[in-house]
Amino acid sequence: MTDYRAVMKLLVQQRSYRQIEQQLGCSHRAISRSNQVLRSLGIRTVDQVLALTDDELDELFVDGRSTGQG
């Protein structure tokens, strides 16, 4: 599971996608998704990222996969 808070922190610190991929082992798509959220919310600082609650992050990054329960 991607640590979106960590990805967002690195993005606002101007790290490249490649650096984030190497450091966190996450996908380019997860980084792109995080970047879209940052832009849509106008988040530009680490403090703003840290101010997001876990519940807010869960809502922003909903996992659309099926649970397999019928």
CA atoms of 30 and 11, how far apart (whole Å): 12
pLDDT band at 62 (very low <50, low <70, confident <90, very high): confident
Reduced to 3 states (helix: H, G, I; strand: E, B; else coil), residue 52 is: coil
| Residue pLDDT, tens place only, 8-54 | 999 999 999 999 999 999 999 999 999 999 999 999 999 999 999 99
CA atoms of 40 and 63, how far apart (whole Å): 19
pTM higher than 0.75: yes
CA atoms of 45 and 65, how far apart (whole Å): 30
The structural domains of the chain, with segments of one domain joined by +, span 4-52
At 69 the pLDDT is 61
